Structure 1
Amino acid sequence: MAGGDPARVGQFAPDVPPVTGIFSASIIAFFSFLGFESAANMAEEVKDPTRSYPRALFGAIGTAGVVYLLIAIGAAIVVPTNTLVGSSGPLLEILKASGVGIPGSLFSIIALIAIANGALLFITMASRATYGLAEAHLLPQTFSKVMPGRRTPWVAILVVGLVTMGMSFVGDVGDLADVTVQLLLLVFVSANISVLVLKKDKVGHRHVTVPRIVPILALAATAVLLTQQDAHTWIVTGGYVLVGTAIFVIARVHAKRTGQPEPTSNAASAFD
């Protein structure tokens, strides 16, 4: 830290407009917070989710936000920006500059564990979402099968796990991160529109509410972030959307032919 320069904290790259740099950094920050969005799919497994989940969610986001901010400030002070940009392991550059003696091999193991943890989190989240869609007759009923003893959606977990492994062979990690962020931004657009629509419903029991301005501001922020993605990311994202739409149409046609009930949701009773 002796060679650090606190003045670098407020400096922007000379060839990048400040607004563009802020929005580009927002995309990376958005990816860093994906785990919190995933936790919503596990809320139904929590006792008294109306009380417990919002407190846990915003408490965790606040804690992580402070930690991420401190790391970003420390990185700007300790390591020159050009060094961070040109490095394949910027966090390792920070550790080297700070004088902390962590071997490169140990740091690689830590990074591998962190990536594996993120993958497991995604599999857990996506499998529960897939199970829920199958229960609502929006996906084939095969995905709603659970193990007799543990009651876990084993088919959804297996399929999501295989798809996740397959995606690891397509493009690099940066491309996958961009597409993941793009898809989630589109999900957040639909989620915030749903909040505005569901606020018209009357719910007879205690539930979480937010002012109407919150989803409106969220929609505006999401729209701005969507403009930061390049054409390649939009094309790949469009392919995933088309595949998902095709599966949805097939499931709905099958449900109508077999006389299954229309999909129902208790979302309005949980949050508006």
Structure 2
Amino acid sequence: MAAPEPPALRRTLGTADAVTIGLGSMLGAGVFVALAPAAAAAGSALLVGLAVAAVVAYCNATSSGRLAVLYPQSGGTYVYGRERLGPFWGYLAGWSFVVGKTASCAAMALTVGVYAWPDHAHAVAVLAVVALTVVNTVGVQKSAWLTKVLVVIVLAVLAAVVVAIATSDGADAARLRLDDASALGVLQAAGLCFFAFAGYARIATLAEEVRDPTRTIPRAIRIALGIVLIVYAAVAIAVLAELGAAGMASATAPLADAVSAAGHPELTPVVRAGATLAALGSLLALILGVSRTALAMSRDRHLPPALAVVHPRFATPYRAELVVGAVVAVLAGVLDLRGAIGFSSFAVLVYYAIANASAFTLSAKLIPVLGFVGCVVLAFTLPVTSVLAGIAVVLAGSVAYAVRRV
């Protein structure tokens, strides 16, 4: 007798829901976390790095969108690599995604703690993970609704920040002139900014829960990426014009410092609240995406099969979500924020390199080649500690695969 089909997830998400989940994944990381270290790496040339990251992200989004149309299942590049390149490459993509995005979850949880209650950042981070894991477990529609509310609030806060700086007397366009940043610095800045753009992967990993995926997924990816690029560029230009590259790089909370320097200190608590909400929205969608990839890998027995269980009432992969939440909570209690960002960037760039290699097997070739080369270059120009840690984890995953196959 043939084995029964694994339980399917419900297709309840439309284009607006998918776009919102992508926005919630990207906005928190880029605006409040990645821009300051990017400025430290490249100075005002971080704007060039932002453009490079956007080009690579567009290539990856296009490749992912084409593949998602063919394979509208949970798992994203794990499924694409398996189907187009072979089981090992699918596994390696899934491994890189789960490991890298688990680190991203910890980084976002720590961002919540740093902005909401700096003296107890780790404890707040753990509580945030627990609360949002419960939200995801009881249903993806509730997750999409909550993310939509968070995204609207964060966009309103960022708009207020940009307007406050743009109308101040201290903003100086001369601070936007490119300095003497090296090519390596620009590429490092691009790699750090890419960490922020990578949230559109959440749209592809939700393919099994999206209505009309062949139409919805490519459209949602393009819309979400375009909105985020505009927001990032506006915020980066405004803060650079107010603080300059050195001030932005040294600031622990550059947006809050910028509005204060612009003569609006009353906006500082608003910015802190916005940062907390942005990180919560990003964390919400990140946990959602990691659990769906874990579901797909457990169905193929690359992870424990016990995780491939869909809740009979809520139609969610609740066991995968609970396990992911538990691991993230532990990491959020012990990890350093910037170290988590660098490691996550490397792993996620490996994931997208495999996505582009998978798309190369389709008819169009140019964009997958550009995306693949971009991912490899950005991955290996990240800080040395991030590269070494990333290589070690990828090798560990490869060894685990080989041992299991013996």
TM-score (norm 2): 0.55
Q: What secondary structure sits across from 1:168 in the alignment? A: helix
Change (3 A) 1:62 1:168: same
Distance in 2, Cα, partners of 1:106 & 1:49: 37
Q: Which residue of 1 aligns with 2:174?
A: 7
Q: Do 1:137 and 1:252's aligned partners in 2 also have CA atoms closer than 8 Å?
A: no
The CA distance in 2 between the partners of 1:113 and 1:251, in whole Å, is 41
**Uncovered stretches (5+) of structure 1, i.e. residues with no partner:** 200-209, 254-272
Moved more, 97-106 or 78-87: 97-106
Structure 2 counterpart of 1:192: 356
**Contact 1:139 1:251 (8 Å CA) reproduced:** no
Partner of 1:225: 378
Name the aligned partner's letter for residue 49 of structure 1: P
1:246–1:139 distance in 2 versus 1, CA, 3 Å: farther
Deviation string, structure 1 residues 45-91 (Cα, Å, up to 9, x no partner): 11111111111110111111011111111112111222111111111
What secondary structure, in the 3-state scheme, does the structure 1 residue paired with 2:266 have? coil
Residue 24 of structure 1, aligned match among 188, 197, 203 = 188
For the pair 1:144 / 2:308, whether they are aligned, the reply is yes
Alignment match of 1:96 (pick from 241, 247, 260): 260
- Displacement of 1:142 in angstroms is 0.9
Task: Report if the CA contact (8 A) 1:130-1:156 is conserved.
Answer: yes
* Deviation larger for 159-168 or 107-116: 107-116
Distance 1:112 1:58 in 2: 26
Aligned to 2:95: none
CA distance in 2, matches of 1:187, 1:214: 16
Deviates more, 1:38-47 or 1:236-245: 236-245
Identity of aligned residues (%): 27
Q: CA deviation at 1:106?
A: 4.4
Structure 2 CA distance for partners of 1:243 and 1:142, relative to 1, 3 Å: farther
Q: Secondary structure at the match of 1:44?
A: helix
Is residue 164 of structure 1 aligned with residue 351 of structure 2? no
Aligned to 1:256: none
Equivalent residues of 1:123, 1:160 under 8 A apart = yes
Alignment pair present for 1:46 and 2:210: yes
> Higher helix proportion, which one?
2
Aligned positions of 1:253-272 closer than 5 A:
none
Higher relative contact order (CA 8 A, sep 6+): 2
For residues 156 and 246 of structure 1, the distance between their equivalents in structure 2, rounded to whole angstroms, comes to 23
* Number of aligned positions between the proteins: 239
Q: How does 1:126-145 map to 2 (within 5 A)?
A: 126-145=290-309
Provide the rounded CA distance (Å) in 2 between the counterparts of 1:150 and 1:160: 18
Deviations 1:20-41 (A, max 9, x none): 3321221222011122122210
Could you tell me how far 1:141 is from its partner in structure 2?
0.8
In structure 2, the CA distance between the partners of 1:250 and 1:227, relative to structure 1 (3 Å rule), is: closer
**Residue 127 to residue 252, structure 1, CA distance change in 2 (3 Å):** farther
How much has 1:169 moved relative to structure 2?
A: 3.3
In structure 1, distance between residues paired with 2:207 and 2:338: 29
Aligned Cα RMSD in Å? 2.1
Displacement after TM superposition at 1:93 (Å): 1.3
Q: Distance in 2 between matches of 1:229 and 1:154?
A: 35
Q: TM-score w.r.t. structure 1 length?
A: 0.80
Unaligned runs of at least 5 residues, structure 2: 1-167
The 1:143/1:242 distance shift into structure 2, 3 A limit, reads: farther
2:267 & 2:239 partners in 1: Cα distance? 19
CA distance in 2, matches of 1:240, 1:154: 26
- The answer for the alignment partner of 2:390 in structure 1 is 237
Counterpart of 1:6, as a letter, is A
Superposed, 1:63-142 pairs within 5 Å as: 63-102=227-266, 104-142=268-306
For residues 197-212 of structure 1, the aligned pairs below 5 Å read: 197=361, 199=362, 211-212=364-365
* Cα gap change, 1:120 to 1:144, in 2 (>3 Å): same
